[in-house]
A and B are shown apart, each in its own frame.
Chain A
Amino acid sequence: MSKFNNFRSNLADELEIPNNVLSDNFDLRMHGNKKVIIENHLGIKIYEDTMVSVKTNDQDITIKGSKFKIEEINNYKVIVKGNIKEIIFSMKE
């Protein structure tokens, strides 16, 4: 995370406002193990039946499981549906 982004994230925490209003951090929500909603993403890196990888500002989010289907994707959010087994956050190289 860049220093400026880190500062904006901290400021949002202090002001008690949603983090993604000020920072470029992604927002990840899960509905059980069936659905993942990722907001503030930068695109799809890998899309397979058993794996979906989503790029964000600082990290790549890799979702592993089966029967993956992208329910919706637009400039702001991506909704992935399927049987989720694992979510891995990896720092960008």
Chain B
Amino acid sequence: MLIFKLMYLIRGYVVIRLDDINSEKILNILRRKNITVWDVEKKNKGIKFKISYDDYIKNSDFINEIMKPVGKKGFMLKLNKVKFRRGFSIGVFILIISLYLLTSMIWEVEVVGTNQTNTNKILALLSENQINIPVFMSQIETKKLETLIYNNFENYKFVEVYLEGSKLIIFVREREPEPSKIKSNEPSSIISAKNAIISKVIAKSGQPVVKEGSVVYEGQTLIMGIVKNKNSEEFVMVPSEGVVYGKTYYNFEMKEEKIRSVNVSTNKSKSVYYLKINGNSIKIIGDKEPYENYNYRESNINVPIISKLTDISILKGVYYEEVIMEIEIDEKTAQNKMKISMYDELLKRCNDDSRILKSTINFSDDEDFYYLIAQIEVIEDIGEKVRIFPTTEDKTEET
């Protein structure tokens, strides 16, 4: 009955009121005319019932003569009304299309994090790459745009492009200027960059203030750029030149699991398809997360013509089933791995011309882990040149 009523709600029906004592007679006449009548209700004097709009049109003369239609309802009737109001309908249609087009386009580009000159340069770059405002959102690939800007401007250390409403926002972070190099004729001192025991001091110019065997700490002066003039009692500032070798000690503590969990693919996969509209995804086929452990990859499928004009595309996601396997790592492999990691770390911390004097490496293990405890003794240049007085450029930056 629900389907029946729903069908007539779409096709249209007429509610009729009959103020006649012989309502049974009328119902029988309608039955003989093959008219289906439903929802017959007894009212004070007569009855109220519904018939389909098609039957009403076919028998309108007879019905209007003896009965009173109370109302006409249904989707098709509403649609017929719209047909008559053609101008209004076209207007609404144009409005919807315009709204859709206006909201799916980018009307403004905002560059955040740089000055106006660089902003203009970025906008010029966009124009060179056929991105002229207004542009459809579907034509903007933010990741590609980020790469493009990053590759074309060396002074940006970070670029992010995203859409906010109908605005394209390009967020950039400029690199901080590297500290200017100390010129060879500038008064300078050499200080220690690390805690160390002095091994050798070779001072070409300047006054060495540490001896072999002295313990120095980070920031301590090694070769002073202020020296006393031999001919007078005055102090003069000179550029310091020299190499100070010091013994430094690096301690390492590392651990490695004895049993490691590894994801292994089972070559089974299931796909899921989404309809992507303006960045929102609606699932159409397939199940989300069909496996307990999986590797998920997705790709975008552009629908010919539609994807060009609108921001509608199909997103295909593939779930590759994986099983977690536990692999036992043997002692030798774990020790080698920890050693390699340790030396990698050491390389990062030391200078290029460093030399290892002594290395003490101890291995141990418990139920779950292998451990490495090591101390490496290194001889390296620990000197770092610094200006005796900060430059005017630095002063302005500080203020």
Residues of chain A at the chain B interface (Cβ within 8 Å): 43-49, 68-75
Contact = CB atoms under 8 A, between A and B. Distances in A.
Contacts of A75: 31-32, 34
Given A49-B42, A72-B1, A44 B28 contact: yes
A47 B36 contact: no
Interface in B27-58: 27-28, 30-32, 34-42, 47, 49
Contact of B42 (A48, A72, A73): A48
Contacts of A48: 42
A73 B31 CA distance: 7
A49 B45 CA distance: 12
Nearest to A53: B24
Contact of B38 (A44, A47, A72): A72
A38 B191 CA distance: 109
B119 interface: no
B34 A74 contact: yes
A75 B35 CA distance: 8
B41 A73 contact: no
Nearest to B1: A71
Contacts of A69: 39-42
B23 interface: yes
9 contacts: A44-B28, A48-B42, A68-B42, A69-B42, A70-B27, A70-B38, A71-B40, A73-B37, A74-B35
A44 B42 contact: no
Contacts of A44: 24, 27-28
A47 B41 CA distance: 10
B27 A72 contact: no
A89 B180 CA distance: 113
B335 to A, nearest CB: 82
Contacts of B41: 69
A45 B24 contact: yes
Contacts of B30: 73
A54 B165 CA distance: 67
A69 B37 CA distance: 12
A46 B4 CA distance: 26
A43 B27 contact: yes
Contact of A47 (B31, B32, B35, B42): B42
